[in-house]
Amino acid sequence: MLRVFILDGYVDEPTCLGVPPYISPYPRYIAGAVWDADPHANVSYVTIDQLRNDTSLLTNFSKSDILVVIAGMSVPGRYLSGFPVSPNELISFLNNISKPVKLLCGPAARYGFGMSGGKPVTATDVVKNVFNIIAKGDGEIVISELIKNNLNSEIIDPSLCRPNPKAIKNFAVKGARIVTQHPFFPDHLITEIETYRGCTRSITGGCSFCSEPSKGSPSFRAADEICEEIAALYNAGIRHFRIGNQPCIFSYMAKDAGDEEFPRPNPEALEHLFQGIRTAAPNLITLHIDNANPGIIARYPKECKRIAKSIIQYHTAGDVAAFGVESVDPVVIKKNNLKATAEEVYDAITLLNEVGSQQGANGLPELLPGLNFVFGLDGETKNTFTLDYEFLKKIYDDNLLLRRINLRQVIPIPGTRMFQIGEKNIRKHKAAFQHFKRKVRQTIERPMLKRVVPPGTLLKAVFAETYEGKLTFSRQLGSYPLLVGIPGVYPLHRFYDVKIVDYGYRSLTAVPFPLDVNTAPRETLEAVPGVGKKRAIRILAKRPFHTKKDFINALDNPMIAQAIGDYIRLD
Ligand code: SF4
């Protein structure tokens, strides 16, 4: 029997996320390609974090026929529940494994290993002695050929790509069940779904830093094929989905894609897709989107308003349309062929605020824009930071809502125009970037967070992921979840409803709701508005309380006790 191991070293690309709690399409398509070629094959999936924690898994790798590694970070990210594999880890884990055909795929195989913003990528060459095949093409097509050719890696073309989206139709459905092997399955796992690849702007070269134009103009997956994949994932037990694997969801099935840089969107196609997803996965818990091109939204407000309304009708609340703004400096926009001017971005933000700012069932607004800025681009000067700040300040002063502001430094990827320019501007503006970041965090992000989720907001179903001292960090599942610190040590890997009590620059402090005053840890009690250190000690000394009246009587100030009553429960 054919034995295949998939080691997921995680991917983070401009149009695809596969760092837990996300699982990217890569391992699913690869498993599907194996099962398509050999329905009886034994396919195992492990994450790099599982391997880090249990190196005895290497013994199983040694017994396999094919070992596939998925890896590559081509955009810098911040992670809580896993970190992408480094080339050195791959060398130390896999160097002595000789039996299986070892295949590397994903962005690391194509562009090298990006490890953090502002730093050059480590060339794929460093791992060339570890792997038999470095698949610069599509891993699922390469492995399919490898199996058809009796695992003869010598004759396989590593640059094989899918000729069209139909080529992955069966793989996407057949490979869906691999998700059951993910350590976060089922409750804490989000499947990233692809609707197309390639960028409409590739006809003008695209943005200077982005790898997506190398995939050409969009090749769309048919809505029915996407829904078949979603049905297979749903039947396997998945309840969380993100339609995130494409450059702009508003451009899905745009009729003039391939001819026009900014094609007119197709609201009917989006309605059909989202309706189909709901039919395929009727009791899904999360349905979010990701990237959206503000240049498209500003040019076609009527169509995009319809699309945003369709998304809101079928999605789940707390959704984010991530706008790749990169910079509002006209010089930088021109030199890097960016997608939208400051005015266009402003218009797109306003449109989404009009349609999506109402509070949804999970406590967050339905659909808001998030802004991504990239620093270190060609043409950047100190004035770029001033212009970007003034733009953000205007958004804030005009009472608009943003769900997130992401400030990153570029990773110059081979094959992009930024690769020639490298880290020159990053080095030059290192101090200016740090200063800008601090200023935005303090004067815009924190107050904006307070506007988006005011004090006392009830956030539903945050999942406890990790501890830092006596703080339990948790997040909702979905696009760009807010980081919520719960004072106290609470059992991990469970969901909690929480009420917001305070704000950090990029995180919230919240207490479980309703709070059981008879069992709550001291740190949590202290964080409840109006309690503080002294009253928390008094509560601890006098509990258990049997009625709310007992509790109010036990406190020094009945007025405060009433206010605290909004947060507590007495069983
Ligand atoms: S619009 Fe720019 S950033 Fe977005 S996918 Fe196209 S080239 Fe990349």
Residue 68, C-beta contacts closer than 8 angstroms, at least 6 positions apart: 4, 5, 6, 7, 30, 103, 105, 139, 143
Q: Which two tokens stand for residue 187?
A: 């409750």
The residue whose CB lies within 8 Å of the most ligand 1 atoms, and thus the one to mutate among 210, 249, 332, is: 210
The residue type at 331: V
| C-alpha distance from residue 187 to each of 22, 50, 80, 156, 349 (Å) | 12, 18, 17, 39, 32
Q: Whose CA is nearest to atom 4 of ligand 1?
A: 247
Q: How far is the CA of 534 from the centre of ligand 1 (A)?
A: 54
Q: At what angle do helices 342-356 and 382-397 cross, to 10 degrees?
A: 30
Quick check: CB of 136 below 6 Å from ligand 1? Answer: no
Residue 401, C-beta contacts closer than 8 angstroms, at least 6 positions apart: 353, 357, 365, 368, 448, 451, 452
Q: How far is the CA of 217 from the centre of ligand 1 (A)?
A: 11
pLDDT of 157 higher than 60? yes
**Res 571: pLDDT:** 57
**Res 75: pLDDT:** 67
Least confident of 107-121, 293-307, 391-405, 454-468: 107-121
Distance CA 81, CA 483 (A): 12
Q: Whose CA is nearest to atom 5 of ligand 1?
A: 247
Quick check: CB of 339 below 6 Å from ligand 1? Answer: yes
pLDDT digit string (tens) for 23-81?
A: 999 999 999 999 999 999 999 999 999 999 999 999 999 999 999 999 998 766 777 77
- pTM listed for this prediction: 0.95
Looking at ligand 1, which atom is closest to the CA of residue 338?
Answer: 2
**Res 121: pLDDT:** 79
**Res 566: pLDDT:** 82
Asked if residue 556 lies in contact with residue 535, where contact means CB atoms within 8 angstroms, the answer is yes
DSSP 320-383: EEEEEEE---HHHHHHTT-S--HHHHHHHHHHHHHHH-SB-TTSSBSEEEEEEEEES-TT--HH
Length of the chain: 571
Q: Mapping DSSP to helix (H, G, I), strand (E, B) and coil, where does residue 82 land?
A: coil
Q: What angle do CA 94, 100, 103 make, to 5 degrees?
A: 70
Q: What is the dihedral of CA 527, 531, 532, 536, to 10 degrees?
A: -100
**Res 367: pLDDT:** 98
Q: Mapping DSSP to helix (H, G, I), strand (E, B) and coil, where does residue 312 land?
A: helix
pLDDT of 413 higher than 60? yes
Position of tokens 């409409």? 200
Distance CA 137, CA 145 (A): 12
If we measure between CA atoms, which residue out of 484, 186, 467 comes closest to residue 362? 484
**pLDDT (average), residues 150-168:** 96
Distance CA 316, CA 218 (A): 27
| Residues in a beta bridge with 75 | none
pLDDT digit string (tens) for 269-323?
A: 999 999 999 999 999 999 999 999 999 999 999 999 999 999 999 999 999 999 9
Query: Which of the residue ranges 12-21, 44-53, 206-215, 559-568 has the most confident prediction, judged by mean pLDDT?
Result: 44-53
The residue type at 197: R
Quick check: CB of 261 below 6 Å from ligand 1? Answer: no
Looking at ligand 1, which atom is closest to the CA of residue 295?
Answer: 1
Distance CA 72, CA 112 (A): 7
Q: In the 8-state DSSP scheme, what is residue 263?
A: P
Q: Which two tokens stand for residue 518?
A: 């008879």
